[in-house]
Amino acid sequence: MLTTSALSADAATALTGEELHALMARLYPICRSITGDGVRQTLDVVREYLPGLVVHEVPSGTPALDWTVPFEWNIRDAWVKNAAGVRVIDFRAHNLHVLQYSQPKHGWVARQELEEHLFSLPEQPDLIPYRTSYYQPNWGFCLSHHQRAQLQDEYYEVGIDSTLDPAGSLTYGELLLPGSSEEEVLLSCHCCHPSLANDNLSGMVVAVGLARWLAQVPRRYTYRFVFAPGTIGSIVWLSRNPAAVARIRHGLVLSLLGGEGGFTYKKSRRATAEIDRTVALMLRDMAVPHQVVDFIPYGYDERQYCSPGFNLPVGCLSRTPYAQFPEYHTSADNLAFVQPDVLAESLLLTQEVLAALDANCRYQNRHPYGEPELGRRGLYSPVGGASAHPDEQLALLWVLNLSDGQHSLLDIAERARLPFAQVQRAADRLLAHDLLILLPD
């Protein structure tokens, strides 16, 4: 691939934070799970923004690596009524109220039995928790601890109008944006959480923003977006796409990008992959609060992408990580918890990261013996002796000095401690003066 990047030029075409938030507001009420109509409705909305999105259906029972695609779960209604017939827990009020993958149920249960199927948070008594039981048959309700304390009757009528269909399927969406190169960048987000805004929707809307932007710019890499249910979705995708897996050069799992707090980048299992170094560099260049943390085999779908057989260079970008903010997996992770300007900043950072990956090349200095005479080319200040040396001039010297075939622009920006964009501009100027040769990958 022998052209330099134009990718960073068109950042202005990206969706605004408000537009991202508006998309999120449309998706928020839908009751998603790892299978079912919620995912389909969600991907229908996403397709309005990304017409090229392909929706895949994988039948229940299909083997996928060590797993099997589960029965498809759908739910129409769920409630607990007291003796007076009043709904004391009501799925229609909040879709978090039902334990995900609850089996169909109807009948009277003693309070003691009901209690074994209730989930609440004693230390956050106002919030409804999010709980699942995908792979073990169960039924249950999630509710605030205050609400739970009011359940004093001896018997309650329980109704769960759900279906678990062995002839159903698992649904995921995929968008491919071809570039000059067949080498791929993977962007992956999970789409299996019901009404949770930061966890799940923020990653999805940033992915939509990124894809909209990428669709409009020249692309060096081919970009592949995967919107899939957590764990089983990425496992299904990995099991069905060995050829694409082999083409992945860089990847990011996007999650929790709308809440408070600085960025958290969790490195890939490889730890020093180009994506790891690029994200760290752009966080530094953007001068935003952030932390870069080591890979651990827990978290989002990077667990699958970084399993030892695949060991893909895929990191995970979040703001405050899962389980480290009190709203995590509760009804407080709602639309108000996510701010448009936070989404916009998250989108901007990922754009900068992709632009840097796209622009990262190795050059060969055509005059490696001594410095080339920059002055006669108008690249150096004509009057000498002043103390200050502008960073632009220093960037030229760094690119010349390290363009020995061993160093990429990323290497140079790291070693020179200069912004990547400045190093890239210096390379562009030197290239325009025929002082560099772009090397093949």
Annotated binding site: 193, 199, 329
In order of 71, 133, 135, the CA distances from 166 in angstroms are 5, 17, 13
Q: In this complex, which beta carbon is closest to a copy of itself, that of residue 129 or of residue 315?
A: 129
Q: Please state whether beta strands 184-190 and 63-64 pair in parallel, antiparallel, or not at all (unpaired).
A: unpaired
Residue 216 in contact with a copy of itself, rule: CB under 8 A: no
Among 317, 416, 426, 427, binds a copy of itself (CB under 8 A): 416
Q: How far apart are the first and last CA of the chain?
A: 7
Residue ranges with strand state E in 240-330: 248-254, 263-266, 290-293, 314-318
Closest separation in Å from C-beta 94 to a copy of itself: 15
Q: Closest by alpha carbon to 59, among 213, 161, 167, 139?
A: 167
Cα gap 190→197, rounded to integer Å: 12
Q: In this complex, which beta carbon is closest to a copy of itself, that of residue 73 or of residue 221?
A: 73
Q: In this complex, which beta carbon is closest to a copy of itself, that of residue 16 or of residue 401?
A: 401
Among 400, 409, 427, 436, binds a copy of itself (CB under 8 A): 400
Residue 397 in contact with a copy of itself, rule: CB under 8 A: yes
Closest separation in Å from C-beta 22 to a copy of itself: 27
Residue ranges with strand state E in 99-242: 105-110, 118-119, 141-142, 155-165, 169-177, 184-190, 222-228
Among 180, 241, 307, 339, binds a copy of itself (CB under 8 A): 307
- Cβ atoms of residues 259 and 317 within 8 Å: no
Residue 298 in contact with a copy of itself, rule: CB under 8 A: yes
Cα gap 68→89, rounded to integer Å: 33
Q: In this complex, which beta carbon is closest to a copy of itself, that of residue 192 or of residue 217?
A: 192
Q: Closest by alpha carbon to 63, among 240, 227, 190, 304?
A: 240
Binding residues for Zn(2+): 193, 199, 329
Among 69, 191, 356, 402, binds a copy of itself (CB under 8 A): 402
| Cα atoms found within 13 Å of the Cα of residue 215, Cβ hemisphere only | 16
Q: In this complex, which beta carbon is closest to a copy of itself, that of residue 196 or of residue 207?
A: 196
Among 303, 319, 362, 429, binds a copy of itself (CB under 8 A): 303
Residues 94-123 that bind a copy of itself (CB under 8 A): 99-100, 119
- Cβ atoms of residues 15 and 209 within 8 Å: yes
Cα gap 303→151, rounded to integer Å: 40
Residue 239 in contact with a copy of itself, rule: CB under 8 A: yes
Residues 327-346 that bind a copy of itself (CB under 8 A): 328-329
Q: In this complex, which beta carbon is closest to a copy of itself, that of residue 5 or of residue 365?
A: 365
Q: Is 220 left (phi over 0), alpha (psi -120 to 50) or beta?
A: alpha
Residue 243 in contact with a copy of itself, rule: CB under 8 A: no
Residue 235 in contact with a copy of itself, rule: CB under 8 A: yes
Among 66, 152, 243, 336, binds a copy of itself (CB under 8 A): 66
- Residues near a copy of itself, by CB under 8 A: 65-67, 99-100, 119, 129-136, 138, 231, 234-235, 238-239, 269, 296-298, 303-304, 306-311, 322-323, 328-329, 365, 367-373, 375-376, 382-389, 394, 397-398, 400-404, 416
